[in-house]
Amino acid sequence: MKTSTFIEIERRGTGGWDEVLATEAHLVAPGEEWKSELWRVAVEQFNRAADLLELEQEMRARMLSPRRSLVVSFPVRLDSGEVRSFTGYRVQHTLTMGPTKGGIRYAPGISLGECAALAMWMTLKCALVGLPFGGAKGGVRCDPNRLSPQELERLTRRYAAELFPIIGPDRDIPAPDMATSEREMAWFMDTYSQQVGHPAPEIVTGKPVVLGGTAGRREATGLGAVFCTERLLEQLGWDLAGQRVAIQGFGNVGSVMARELDARGAVIVGLSDVTGGVVDQAGLDVAAVERWVAGHRFMRGCPEGLYVTRQEILETPCDILIPAALEHQLTEDNAADVDCRLVVEAANGPTTPEAEKILSERGIMILPDLLVNSGGVTVSYFEWVQDQQRYLWDGFEVASRLESKMRTAVDRVIETAEALETDWRTAAQSVAIVRIAEASRLRAIYP
């Protein structure tokens, strides 16, 4: 078929593309814009739940197509005077549930497909916990370690200005993610406020408290994960006191979990970071490890317990293993050597589908990331609510509301898993999908 005849083909939805693609091999098929490893995993997990729910094709297609995305290219003047062009992204996955919400990351490998997968997970996470948001994710392709603070500020401000047409407190509310923090959120909020002509703290969450950030945001993800673990153990009839816990990752999430679980009587038998870790079956002194890391930045050389490598921490004998560092940590290569009864996924995507199969065959339970780390976005929601009302809560109120949300979400997941006779990951996805599908049906289709 020649190109000229393509325009004769009547286009209904994506109709006509099969013929176009048959001859124009260089074209990107509809949906292929999102192609990435993370998108593949996200779609696979989604389909497992959608199959179980017998979700209609139309609804699947809607949920698997991010609703709005923006790719921007913009110049930034470097300290040397040279001007460099950067590419930025923002994907808004679902617009049905309310404004969209999701982080901004600075990373060399970021792509539209990666943002799409992360935005979809944000949609599901918000729906699971019952927050009035759809999911979003964005970022700038750069190596943040090679940019000075001044360059990062110019890059952040220009990226914020580029996103201006599609963001807003009632449209899309960014937050920190990889390589962005309170500092970037302050620049972002200031840039947006300059554009609209008045202070607009509600445009981002994860801000410094003095600019309208919330008490408890920094600890939110780790504390939320501990509340989830506590509730699950109550449901399983296990006593948290005395459980042996090993944690991979000692950053924002891992260090808070270590401290909070230790305070609740768990025995912390292993801790690690990017430089390796320490183990002690009699229990590590968490405060001493924290002091070492505060003074030396990394865990390497820490005199507590015995040294283990980054890989060995995942094979430490324990009751509860908590990956709290990176994605893709429990794989088919090490799943057979994992020595625990329960995996609590504090990181996003730490277990590959292949490893999950091996772990479940071995009777090891997995509390999924969608549920475990949803405390972060929950407290971001609290921050947005406080900013809208110009009424700030104290840390106690934030923590008690977080606890209630986390416990309810755990109970919903366990009930759903029992009702559908499935695993907790698929149950968590199912709770979210049912909610989004119901909202989509009720809003119907415009026009």
Please give the positions annotated as active site.
137
Biggest alpha carbon distance in the chain? 75
Position among 324, 409, 417, 431 found at the interface with ligand NAD (CB under 6 A): 324
133 lies in the site for ligand NAD, by CB under 6 A = no
352 neighbors 217 (Cβ within 8 angstroms): no
Instruction: Tell me how many degrees the CA angle 386-391-395 measures, rounded to the nearest 5.
Output: 70
Q: Looking at beta carbons only, is 147 or 253 nearer to ligand NAD? A: 253
Q: In sequence order, what are the beta bridge partners of 175?
A: 103
Site string for ligand NAD, 268-297 (x = CB under 6 A): ----xxx-----------------------
113 lies in the site for ligand NAD, by CB under 6 A = no
Cα 249 to Cα 346: distance, rounded to the nearest angstrom: 10
Cα 214 to Cα 205: distance, rounded to the nearest angstrom: 8
100 lies in the site for ligand NAD, by CB under 6 A = no
Cα 65 to Cα 367: distance, rounded to the nearest angstrom: 27
124 lies in the site for ligand NAD, by CB under 6 A = no
Q: How far is the CB of 24 from ligand NAD (least distance, A)?
A: 38
417 neighbors 48 (Cβ within 8 angstroms): no
Q: Where are the beta strands (DSSP E) in 243-363?
A: 244-248, 267-273, 276-279, 306-308, 320-323, 342-344
Query: Residue 28 is which amino acid?
Result: V
144 lies in the site for ligand NAD, by CB under 6 A = no
Position among 346, 364, 402, 409 found at the interface with ligand NAD (CB under 6 A): 346
Q: How far is the CB of 361 from ligand NAD (least distance, A)?
A: 25
Q: Are strands 100-107 and 172-176 parallel, antiparallel or unpaired?
A: parallel
Cα 423 to Cα 349: distance, rounded to the nearest angstrom: 16
Of residues 242-271, those binding ligand NAD (CB under 6 A): 248-254
Using CB under 6 A as the binding criterion, the count of chain residues that bind ligand NAD stands at: 20
Q: How far is the CB of 96 from ligand NAD (least distance, A)?
A: 23
Of residues 354-373, those binding ligand NAD (CB under 6 A): 373
Position among 347, 364, 367, 406 found at the interface with ligand NAD (CB under 6 A): 347
Q: Looking at beta carbons only, is 141 or 154 nearer to ligand NAD? A: 141
How far is Cα of residue 239 from the mean position of the Cα atoms in its chain? 29
Query: Which residues in this chain contact ligand NAD in the complex, by CB under 6 A?
Result: 221, 248-254, 272-274, 310, 324-326, 346-348, 373, 376
